[in-house]
Structure 1
Amino acid sequence: MREQESVGSIINKVLLRKTQLKDNSTTLIMDILYAFFSSLFVVVVSCLVRFAFFKSKSVVNVKVLPPGGRGWPLIGETIEFVTSGWTGHPEKFVTDRMTKFSRHVFRTSLMLEDAAVFCGPEGNKFLFSNEKSLVRYWLPATVSKILPSTDHGVEKMKMVRCHFKPEVLRQYVAVMDMVAQKHFETEWEGNDQILTHKLTKIFTFQVACKIFFSINEPELVNNLSVPFERLAPGLFSIPINLPGTPLRRAINAGKFIRKELTAMAKQRKIDLADGKASPTQDILSLMLCDDYGKFMAETDVADLITGLIIGGYDSTSSTCTFIVNYLAELPEIYEEVYKEQMNIAKSKPSTELLNWEDVSKMKYSWNVACEVLRLVPPTQGTFREAISDFTYNGYSIPKGWKLYWSTYSTHKNPDFFHEPEKFDPSRFNNNAPAPYTYVPFGGGYHLCPGKEFARIEILVFMHHLVRKFKLKKVIPNEQIVFNLIQPKLAKGLPIHLCPHKP
């Protein structure tokens, strides 16, 4: 009986244990399911909250970014930016978007970069005044591949500006006059027709070689001019470094120029030490004898001078070309320039070279040049880069964005220049244009250091041009083509030369 009870007890216990295990399994499964769905709920809610947060945050960011559009994927609006000048209206890219989005600043995408275009005198002032604090100079990667050292330090820029002050440059007026006399005798006189742009480039490069290196031998000048010609097309070219491309040709030209100018600098140091060269004979000597320049490596001197020549060579030749263009188109303007230059010529012996005082008297001629620089500035504008987040005109500008200022947001704006398409040198008679509206030479830290150098060179060119010839355009309505480097006349401005009678 006890044995039966024991067996029954055991069976009951087994059944009870089985029931307990089943209940425990059910509980475990329920616990796992509960934990799973609880976790899933937390994850879903977290994702929804995170999505809602970032969505609201992105909406806020879109609201504070400047208005505008990014254009096509990757390439952005670069094509429209570059090609707007091909039709002769480079201002359209900026002015159309100023009208559509904002007259202060608008967003775009250029050179594969997010960019903001700052407009009007306020935009110019902001970028020029905040150099090194909020923004810094920026150039596309193609430029640094061609010219390894493109942005010079504060001390180098101080040295450059010191040697390009009017009181220093006045000694070069006579030198430019001699170069101009020889240039017009050999390249212009005796020809019924010339190609203006080709000759103005020869002239400005001859001046640069003489004043920077004391070189005037045609063979040596030509040896340097060919590689300099290859630099400009590569600066803002498609970034493909393959044989035959503009970028590769420009890189090779840059290497050649750097080698040649470095050798010149090394030899000049030796000549200065031996007394075979004068400390003031040219820009190269001035730089090498400068307290700061004495400690510069020859390669740094070469890079610095290369940048200065590039900055003046193409831009000044372009301005001289368009001066010829407008003098040929506008006989009443030509006559006023001619009278002024003839009065200066008659006031001195025929064999005496031009001097600083003569150039200072060329006020009307310089007004004409200023109006040319307003209508066809040698550069459309330049880039900066935001070095920190900042706010401008109520809009957020993120760190790393590229910032562009354009001459055309003011130069052809009727708010600042009455009848902006009209050629009117009297705009510059007495009162200067409003601050930051006339910016052909840039402004701020990167104001063109060669501005005064270019002024003298242009006026000496005009002096000899009008005294020797009357001008007639071969192609009356030759199209102006603009690119990122400089404006050009489509056919190079062929001109009939009509020499003045003795």
Structure 2
Amino acid sequence: MNTLFIVLTLLIPIFLLLTKGRRSPKRVPPGSLGIPIVGHSLHLLRAMRANTAEKWLQQRIQIYGPISKLSLFGKPTVFIHGKDANKFVFTSDSSTLSNSQPQSVKKLLGDRCLLELSGQDHKRVRDALGLFLKPESLKSYVGKMDEEVRMHIAMHWEGKQEVKVLPLMKTLTFNIICALLFGIERGARREKLVDWFQEMMEGMWSIPINLPFTRYNRSLQASASIRNMTKDLIGEKRMELAKKGVNPHKDLISCMLSTRDENNREVINENEIMDNVMLVMTAGHDTSSILITCPNFS
């Protein structure tokens, strides 16, 4: 009993020091920031894994109204809901509202991707990425995508009595991403990239505690490995583009490297290429695989 009393006596002052300054002034939304660092992250992650995140948010709206404060992934956060909130977000300029991701996500994807840029920088990078998605460019990708789909069906579907569709769609999506974003053919290099990417995604929405053996620490290491591979690929693509007859739109890295301004200088630097390849790879993976898995009830 005495030991417990001593432990509590030591811990309570520490807790009070950690929470000091977290008390909100009067003119802030209602709600609680939760315990330091962790905040409401575990509750949200649990709801996301159970596919009940929308219900979790609706419960917050019922308790606090359409505007409330909370803490996610180590940062104070304001949650807003409703048509007025949508109007505010989509009509505000960069002086009122700017793109920003949690620090944990920023460390994984980089600070020069579209999610972090605004103004002219955002337009410059967005325009360069747009060249990769032009209709005439997309036509040239059909053949490669068809090849990947045929190989995938032959390897994972033909002759099988039972298949798990969503995991296989994620495999297919990532193989297409490897081909169109990185220009990496099947083999050991692509397999390494798949392993690193899966490790990185495991820590994308985790508590951002960077200690050895934590999920977030492993995710950071995987992200660094992907960036090193991307840097090597950029060097290889530059050498290929220096040769005549190479298609500058055969993959995303080549496309961004070949984008030039009026003075024939590269529009996007190496860090921006790496960060935005990471962003497109991450954004396109789960969204695309889930979309093509959903049955058509129409």
Give TM class, smaller chain.
0.7 to 0.9
Shift of 1:191: 0.9
- Distance, in Å, in 1 between the alignment partners of 2:126 and 2:220 is 24
Question: Once the two structures are superposed, what CA deviation does each residue of 1:233-265 show, in whole Å capped at 9, x if it has no partner?
Answer: 122222222332212211111111111111111
Residues 272-287 of structure 1 aligned to structure 2 (within 5 Å)? 272-275=241-244, 277-287=246-256
The one-letter code sitting in structure 2 at the alignment partner of 1:93 is W
The change in CA–CA distance for 1:120 and 1:161 in structure 2 (over 3 A counts) is farther
**Aligned to 1:222, which of 191, 208, 224?**
191
**Aligned to 1:127, which of 89, 92, 117?**
89
The structure carrying a bigger strand percent of its residues is 1
Q: Is the 8 A contact 1:140 1:236 kept in 2?
A: no
- Distance, in Å, in 2 between the alignment partners of 1:88 and 1:314 is 14
Shift of 1:198: 2.4
Shift of 1:166: 3.7
Shift of 1:79: 3.2
Corresponding residue SS for 1:190: coil
The change in CA–CA distance for 1:166 and 1:101 in structure 2 (over 3 A counts) is farther
Q: Is the 8 A contact 1:76 1:112 kept in 2?
A: yes
**Aligned to 2:205, which of 222, 236, 252?**
236
The question of 1:142 aligning with 2:114 is answered no
Q: TM-score, with normalisation over the residues of structure 2?
A: 0.78
The change in CA–CA distance for 1:182 and 1:114 in structure 2 (over 3 A counts) is same
Q: Is the 8 A contact 1:147 1:254 kept in 2?
A: yes
User: Number of aligned pairs?
Assistant: 265
Tell me the equivalent position of 1:249: 218
- Distance, in Å, in 2 between the alignment partners of 1:111 and 1:202 is 28
The one-letter code sitting in structure 1 at the alignment partner of 2:260 is D
Q: Is the 8 A contact 2:45 2:205 kept in 1?
A: no
The change in CA–CA distance for 1:226 and 1:121 in structure 2 (over 3 A counts) is same
Q: Is the 8 A contact 1:262 1:301 kept in 2?
A: no
- Larger Rg computed on CA atoms: 1
**Aligned to 2:167, which of 189, 198, 206?**
198
The change in CA–CA distance for 1:73 and 1:270 in structure 2 (over 3 A counts) is closer
CA RMSD of aligned residues (A): 2.6
Tell me the equivalent position of 1:302: 274
Q: TM-score, with normalisation over the residues of structure 1?
A: 0.48
The one-letter code sitting in structure 1 at the alignment partner of 2:34 is W
Tell me the equivalent position of 2:291: 319
The change in CA–CA distance for 1:162 and 1:123 in structure 2 (over 3 A counts) is farther
Corresponding residue SS for 1:228: helix
Q: Is the 8 A contact 1:258 1:299 kept in 2?
A: no
| Structure 1 segments (4+ residues) deviating >4 Å | none
The change in CA–CA distance for 1:87 and 1:157 in structure 2 (over 3 A counts) is same
- Unmatched runs of 5 consecutive residues or more in structure 2: 1-22
The change in CA–CA distance for 1:243 and 1:108 in structure 2 (over 3 A counts) is closer
Shift of 1:167: 4.4
- Distance, in Å, in 2 between the alignment partners of 1:126 and 1:189 is 50
The question of 1:85 aligning with 2:48 is answered yes
The change in CA–CA distance for 1:218 and 1:192 in structure 2 (over 3 A counts) is farther
**Higher RCO (Cα < 8 Å, 6 or more apart):** 1
- Unmatched runs of 5 consecutive residues or more in structure 1: 1-57, 328-332, 334-424, 426-502
The one-letter code sitting in structure 2 at the alignment partner of 1:285 is S
- Percent sequence identity is 25
Shift of 1:183: 1.1
The one-letter code sitting in structure 1 at the alignment partner of 2:209 is I
Residues 80-479 of structure 1 aligned to structure 2 (within 5 Å)? 80-102=43-65, 104-149=66-111, 150=113, 151-152=116-117, 153-154=121-122, 155-275=124-244, 277-292=246-261, 294-321=266-293, 323=294, 326=295, 333=297, 425=298
